[in-house]
Amino acid sequence: MRYTPISKELYVNNRARFVKSMRSNSLAIFNANDIQPTNADGHLKFRQNNDLFYLSGIDQEETILLLFPDAKNPKHREILFLRKTSELIEVWEGHKFTKEEGKNLSGIETIYWTDQFDSVFNLLVVEAEGIYLNTNEHARSSNEVQTRDQRFINYCKDKYPLHIYHRAAPILQELRMIKSDLEIQQLKKACEITEKAYERVLRMIKPGVLEYVIEAEISHEFFRNGSRGHAYEPIIASGASACVLHYIDNDKACADGELLLMDFGAEYGNYNADLTRTVPVNGKFSPRQRDVYNAVLEVYNVARKHLTAGRTFEEYDKIVVHTMQEQLIKIGLLDRAEVEQQNPEQPLYKKYFMHGISHFLGLDVHDVGHKNAPIKEGMVLTIEPGIYIKEEGIGIRIENDILVTESGNEELMPNVATTVEEIERAMASR
């Protein structure tokens, strides 16, 4: 594999924390993601189910994890099922994990082949009263394609209708919100690679360069540093395209006098970075661009100051919104009298700042978690204010990844040129 795996200690601890939250005499099942087809005999690159990976560290298709802490036979309290390989598979697809490799990566002693799952599961399920099943319960998920998890839910409920069923997702959302030291190390590696890519492209941005050429430079830096690629589809948006929040065409030429918004992040070992910076194509901000940029930077700085343990997300959001309103008034986009009379259900700032300020980050770019509890030490979130002025063709966003610490917080990409002066100086040294 391209990345250095995390120590099995992480997965041993993650499983221990999960089973601690399970109801007595229950078992839990976690399935790998499907390999998704394209056309003819093609398929997309495999991406492991993040919950299964979080509990096992196994990055291979057709993997199943079974947890049954109250099993009568101690060797059945944790079972990992791996795809059985063959000489034919070795020739066409390459190496698959051996049982010993699965044990070393996951810390699980009992390993069976996946084709033994039905018989083993049949044997154990009669001992259990409850079954924990997993599915994607992310607030923004849209599952139009039936997943392996969903097929297993249907199979289970049809075959064992008298069992009590429980949801694994709420437990995992709670656990995955707080990152361990080992996870933070992996996140920092993804961030370090992303920083290198940003430094690389600053040296080649100039009038006339194509957005997709910039994307190619980023990809090159990712791959040469052990990343498997982009954590998400990169946004390389020059001029008015920066006002399209999810612009991914990346097919225009960058023009003199325009700004370039770049939103990208490296994936490393299934953990993700998420960076946005906005720079002048010709290396120099105009007075108006500078004013708007500094307004966004002020919101970022205030947000970072208040993203601290103990504060509620509601309090945090109110502070950020107030700061954004003040900055929009300062640069002439909002009128103070109109703001004071605005409908609270339809605030005026949303015309220029229409997305959220922070999201969880980890195994998912928009990682699982909930914001109905206070901000806690060990959370990793983005801060990403933006101002988008469609009529002026200006879109500016600044984003960094933040670890909440006991004493405040830490930027995970501290070396990225951020201020107007830092960006202009870095671009002048090309």
Catalytic residue numbers read 41, 246, 263, 274, 355, 359, 366, 384, 388, 397, 399
Which residues lie across from 263 on neighbouring strands?
235, 276
DSSP label at residue 219: H
Distance between CA 421 and CA 430 in Å, rounded? 15
Distance between CA 26 and CA 123 in Å, rounded? 14
Residues 65 and 29: beta-carbon distance below 8 Å: yes
Residues 227 and 190: beta-carbon distance below 8 Å: yes
Distance between CA 290 and CA 373 in Å, rounded? 37
Q: Closest by alpha carbon to 103, among 126, 88, 121, 82?
A: 82
Q: What is the dihedral of CA 101, 104, 108, 109, to 10 degrees?
A: 80
3-state SS, one letter per residue, for 57-68: CCCCCCCEEEEC
DSSP label at residue 429: T
What are residue 167's phi and psi, to 5 degrees? -95, 125
Contacts of 32 (CB under 8 A, 6+ apart): 48, 49, 52, 58, 60, 61, 62, 63, 64, 148
- How wide is the angle at C-alpha 272 spanned by C-alphas 398 and 246, nearest 5°? 50
Residue 267 burial (10 A CB sphere; 0-12, 13-18, 19+): buried
Residue 162 burial (10 A CB sphere; 0-12, 13-18, 19+): exposed
Instruction: Show contacts of 326-329: CB within 8 Å, 24+ apart.
Output: 327/295, 327/296, 327/298, 327/299, 327/387, 328/295, 328/352, 328/353, 328/387
Distance between CA 46 and CA 244 in Å, rounded? 29
Residues 138 and 335: beta-carbon distance below 8 Å: no
State the CB neighbour count (10 A cutoff) for residue 133.
19
